[in-house]
């Protein structure tokens, strides 16, 4: 059979398959080429299987094409087969999609990554005493995304002024818990000022009577330490910072995101895995690594203090880390549907007391990603 005849046979077969429901047996008999008929039969069998529900998920387009290709053992059919295979692939894919749609078989959505989860519990500023008593230091329960302008301070240098009853005659260990969406200023008994960021906790004595002034931090805090002969030590679950009198910021929500940033003076920092202290100079940031060592970088140290004045400030930080801070402040879920965007590095600043809608609007103006707020979840696309 000539190449022209083969092409004609192919055209006839393709027309019959596209209108097989009203094609007579006589028209099929008009096809004289045996291999063309066999191939048509294979394709018709595949299409039949697609109409059976148990075939869902079993159709392997590549395998079908490879099997059909193997039947074409004559060189004169190779060109025709590759043209045909493209049509077959389109038929199979279209039929498979239609089959899933007709039988309402769920299609897995693109994988997304949740980088921060909202806390459904009531958000209150809580002071806890030795005897288990608790005091709420805010005026009312924190409402969703509601920002409170009032600055709150608890001062231990003059206990008579405090509305919260604390025991004056004996040493106690107190703890203060700051919820998401709030900051709080604490003045310790020696005059040291501590600004606590959202979702943080500080454990401290009501008086420093030991050889060292030691406090325990979970989360983030900015310290302005009063000079004294007793070293001031900040311990977290992952690191320890030792100073005599200086200003510095400690961030230690997780092991992967633990920093000590020196504003002025001098500090020494070490991890729990390494007993050797690392000295920091002003303008340096020590980042805790997974091996217990520190990576020290020169940074704009003032930027690490903007949060205590009510601002988000991120200098070329990854978008994943930025959105964790956004989620922590507004207590919202943060879901990346564009996983590649997690590694984007962005310079961003905004007034975080302006509300989540304003933060989203400013972020979207960068045209790097699209943020959408739905109920209590921010989606990043």
Domain ranges of the chain: 3-102, 119-306, 311-380
Summarised one tens digit per residue, pLDDT across range 231-279 is 999 999 999 999 988 999 999 999 888 999 999 999 999 998 887 889 9
Please give the torsion angle defined by the CA atoms of residues 182, 183, 186 and 192, in that order, rounded to the nearest 10 degrees: 160
Summarised one tens digit per residue, pLDDT across range 277-307 is 899 999 999 999 988 889 999 988 878 889 9
Rounded Cα gap, residues 381 and 379, in angstroms: 6
Neighbour tally for 104: CB within 10 Å: 6
Enter the DSSP assignment of 159.
G
At the topology level of CATH, where does 119-306 sit?
Answer: Jelly Rolls (2.60.120)
pLDDT at 18: 52
Using N-to-C axis directions, what is the helix angle for 78-102 and 61-71, rounded to 10°? 150
CATH number of 311-380: 3.55.50.30
pTM: 0.68
**Mean pLDDT value of segment 157-181:** 71
| Phi, psi (deg, nearest 5) at residue 150 | -65, 130
Rounded Cα gap, residues 176 and 69, in angstroms: 73
CA distances from 29 to 7, 13, 41, 375 (A): 17, 11, 13, 63
């Amino acid at each position: 059979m000539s190449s022209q005849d083969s092409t004609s046979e192919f055209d006839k077969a393709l027309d019959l398959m596209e209108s097989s429901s009203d094609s007579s047996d006589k028209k099929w008999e008009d096809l004289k080429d045996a291999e063309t008929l066999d191939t048509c039969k294979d394709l018709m069998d595949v299409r039949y299987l697609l109409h059976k529900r148990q075939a869902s998920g079993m159709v392997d387009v590549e395998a079908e094409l490879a099997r059909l290709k193997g039947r074409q053992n004559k060189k004169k059919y190779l060109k025709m087969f590759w043209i045909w295979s493209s049509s077959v692939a389109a038929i199979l894919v279209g039929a498979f999609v239609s089959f899933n749609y007709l039988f309402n078989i769920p299609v897995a959505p693109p994988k997304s990554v949740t980088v921060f989860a909202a806390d459904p519990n009531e958000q209150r500023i809580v002071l806890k005493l030795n005897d288990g008593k608790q005091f709420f230091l805010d005026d009312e329960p924190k409402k969703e995304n509601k920002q409170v302008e009032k600055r709150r301070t608890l001062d231990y240098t003059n206990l008579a002024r405090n509305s919260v009853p604390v025991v004056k005659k004996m040493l106690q260990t107190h703890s203060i818990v700051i919820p998401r969406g709030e900051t709080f200023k604490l003045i310790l008994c020696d005059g040291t000022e501590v600004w606590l960021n959202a979702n943080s906790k500080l454990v401290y004595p009501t008086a420093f009577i030991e050889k060292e002034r030691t406090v325990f931090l979970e989360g983030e805090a900015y310290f302005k330490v009063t000079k004294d002969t007793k070293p001031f030590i900040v311990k977290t679950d992952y690191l320890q910072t030792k100073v005599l009198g200086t200003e510095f910021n400690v961030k230690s929500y997780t092991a992967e995101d633990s920093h000590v940033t020196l504003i002025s003076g001098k500090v020494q920092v070490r991890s729990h895995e390494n007993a050797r202290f690392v000295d920091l100079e002003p303008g340096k940031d020590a980042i805790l690594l997974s091996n217990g060592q520190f990576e020290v970088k020169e940074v704009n140290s003032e930027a690490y203090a903007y949060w205590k004045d009510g601002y988000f400030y991120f200098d070329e930080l990854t978008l994943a880390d930025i959105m964790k801070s956004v989620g922590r402040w507004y207590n919202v879920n943060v879901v990346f549907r564009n996983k590649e965007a997690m590694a984007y590095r962005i310079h961003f600043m905004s007034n975080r007391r302006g509300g989540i809608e304003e933060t989203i609007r400013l972020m979207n103006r960068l045209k790097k990603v699209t943020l959408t707020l739905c109920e209590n979840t921010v989606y990043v696309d």
